[in-house]
Amino acid sequence: MRNFIKLIINIETIDETYITKKSILATRSMMLPNFNDIRYFLEVSQTLNISRASERLGITQPSLSLAIQRLETALGTKLLLRTKGGVQLTKQGTKFSIHGRSLIQNWENIRADALNSQNEVSGHYSIGCHPSVALYTLPHFLPKLLTEYPHLEISLKHDLSRKITEDVISFKLDFGIVVNPTKHPDLVIQKLLSDEVSFWTAEKPSSCQDIESGNAILIADNELIQSQSLLKKARKSGLNFSRHLATSNLEVITSLVNAKVGVGILPERVATKNKSYRIKRVDTPLVFKDSICLVYRADTQKSEASKQIISAIKVLK
């Protein structure tokens, strides 16, 4: 019985040793060689002298020897044999010196292509902004940008500014032209324009636009922080509305204000864009100040195309 137990223990020990060795070999086979280690080996393969190669590379002999050892471990074979006069290439070392030079050359070609792409004004980029912001910003820079760079492709997304900002942070959009962006450690925020949101009526207000009567109809986008803030201030100052007409389209609000349907909460840049409308800002201290800003991630927008897009958008200043 004791002999049987010893036999089992010996078998288990052999199995563990075999598994451990197998794991080490598998780990070695998965290792990728260091780029500099290959470059150092190629220098040694030319000089066949560790001392001379280390001088030409500007590193110490121990560092060079360690690099060769790392490369041999990654490849799983000896590349050099030490001799009295220096070193000699093994058969595998000779083969690898040929493939290594080819690898270095391919890498340089790939790097050159990448740099050329980095310096070209081309590719696909996305810009996000609120629909109303788009109407008074995009026409001022997109025509020139797309004319000067025919290989540049732009896609647009329209949503609330806070959602556009979130999409830029989460890499879903490249750039955002947003109102009052919240600071974030990953964002570059550059102010472009200023604006003011307030109450607007027709030049000759109707009874539905008499803001002092308490019977006026309010027309606003209730999702906007500006609308929420102004309504809160209005209630505190004693201004009340009999009914609320909600819409998410600021241009529709402008049109309805012009048609004397009610009092609109509007940014001045939106309210005054259509010169045919006869509307005016209500004389009241209830105002919400806006900053229209360009936002983007500095860690992703480093290409020449990105720089040109940023430069083009900044003409809005």
pLDDT band at 45 (very low <50, low <70, confident <90, very high): confident
Lowest mean pLDDT among 14-23, 152-161, 177-186: 14-23
Predicted TM-score (pTM) of the model is: 0.63
85-129 pLDDT, tens per residue? 788 999 998 898 888 888 877 777 676 666 555 567 888 999 999
- CATH code for the domain defined by 124-177+298-316: 3.40.190.10
Q: Residue 255's pLDDT is what?
A: 97
The domain 194-291 having CATH identifier 3.30.70.870: the answer here is no
Per-residue confidence (pLDDT) for residue 14, from 0 to 100: 36
Is the Cβ–Cβ distance between 111 and 287 less than 8 Å? Answer: no
Whether 49 shows a pLDDT value over 80: the answer reads yes
| Architecture of the domain whose range is 31-118 | Orthogonal Bundle (1.10)
- Check residue 211 and report its DSSP letter: T
Place of tokens 């860690």: 299
Per-residue pLDDT of 222-231, as tens digits, reads 999 999 999 9
CB–CB of 86/54 below 8 Å?
Answer: no
Q: Which residues of 234-270 are buried (b: 16+ CB within 10 A; e: fewer)?
A: beeeebebeeebeeeebeebbbbbbebbbbbbbbbbb
Domain spans of the chain, in order of start: 31-118, 124-177+298-316, 194-291
Quote the pLDDT of residue 113.
66
Question: Would the CATH topology of 124-177+298-316 be identical to that of 194-291?
Answer: yes
What are the backbone angles phi and psi of residue 124, rounded to the nearest 5°? -110, 130
CA distances from 81 to 45, 68, 211, 296 (A): 11, 11, 94, 55
Whole-number Å distance between alpha carbons of 192 and 269: 13
| pLDDT band, very low/low/confident/very high, at 247 (cuts 50, 70, 90) | very high
- Provide, rounded to the nearest whole percent, the portion of the chain with pLDDT above 70: 86
Task: Look at residue 226 in the predicted model and tell me its pLDDT.
Answer: 96
